[in-house]
Amino acid sequence: MKPTPSIRDFTAEQDLLGFFGPGSVSWRIHADPAFSVAGIRALLLQALHPVAMDGVHQFSAAFTAEPWARLTRTAEYVATVTFGTRRDALRAVRRVRGLHRDKSAVEETTGRAYRVDDADLLLWVHCCEVESMLSVARRAGVPLTDADADRYLAEQVTAAVLIGCVEADVPATVAELDAYLARVRPQLAVTPAARNASRFVVVPPMPRWVQLLTPARPAWSTLATLGVVTLPRWARQLYGLPGFGLTDRAATAALRAFRQAALAIPGRVRESPIVRAARERTAGAVPVTA
């Protein structure tokens, strides 16, 4: 596997702007309120790969013990790689790669022996993530042209390579991503591990006091429902998940309504500290060549 780059490989100006910078499509998509729905959708899609899901099942007990904590850590990782300095991003990448290292098992339904950091498994996770981010953003009403969509995927090749994917294998256009998903679809299935994971994502366990004294349950139910109804139809069919009575058009309308409601909240409240810090850090900075 290709080693993680060193901070010595970059200038101070490049470190300041991070791997993408304020002019990137990645910033536009990942800072949008639709990001939270896309994250849930991505997890449900990723779970359909039997071997990738087995890695989560075997080596991430926190997924079932503390699903919220895992989801939060995943979101923080993506935000750090997207909006952090290059130094911050590389620190996060090394931590995740360290967690993956030297973990191996055999997936029962396929009989495949695998390592958690096998490049094809990392590629599947990456492609589910970027396809979900892009699909949900466009359906939610984020203004993105076809050229923007291709540019987003080209930018995200950097994130894929950082985590351990082979650069030549990473889709850099919408057409390449569609072709990749079509190739992988025959391998997908709902294993018992995937079924359990989907339940924890859609209806995570919560302490009774959280359910009674906070809006966490209805808030999460809204995000989870939008995550389910925006899945590709073939993925919903595999899970046997309902569309909750919504047509694709109605699901899109609900997603747009959610985004508009979220955008009405001031950015200082809506956006994560990582995003706000990035905007402050790069204000007035001049983009530099990577």
Domain boundaries, given as residue ranges, for the chain:
13-264
How far is Cα 40 from Cα 201, in angstroms, rounded to an integer?
7
| End-to-end Cα spacing for the chain | 22
**Can you state the angle between helices 248-263 and 119-140, rounded to 10 degrees?**
80
Greater pLDDT, 243 or 48:
48
- pTM: predicted TM-score of the whole model, two decimal places: 0.90
Q: In this predicted structure, what is the pLDDT of residue 211?
A: 52
Q: What share of the chain is helix, strand, coil (3-state, %, to 5)?
A: 70, 0, 30
Question: What pLDDT is recorded for position 222?
Answer: 84
pLDDT at 202: 75
CA 186 to chain centre: 22
> Higher pLDDT residue, 164 or 204?
164
Q: Output the pLDDT for position 90.
A: 96
What pLDDT does residue 216 have? 53
Give the per-residue pLDDT at 141: 97
Residues of the chain with pLDDT > 70, as a percent, come to 84
Q: Which residues pair with 113 in a beta bridge?
A: 106
Query: Which residue would you say has higher pLDDT here, 107 or 285?
Result: 107
234 pLDDT higher than 90: yes
- Please tell me the predicted confidence (pLDDT) of residue 109: 93
Q: Is the pLDDT of residue 199 over 90?
A: no
The pLDDT of residue 204 is above 90: no
Which residues have a Cβ under 8 Å from the Cβ of 283 and sit 6 or more positions away?
none
Which pLDDT band, with edges at 50, 70 and 90, does 213 fall under?
Answer: very low
Averaged pLDDT of the chain: 88
Output the pLDDT for position 289.
46
105 phi and psi angles, rounded to 5 deg: -165, -175
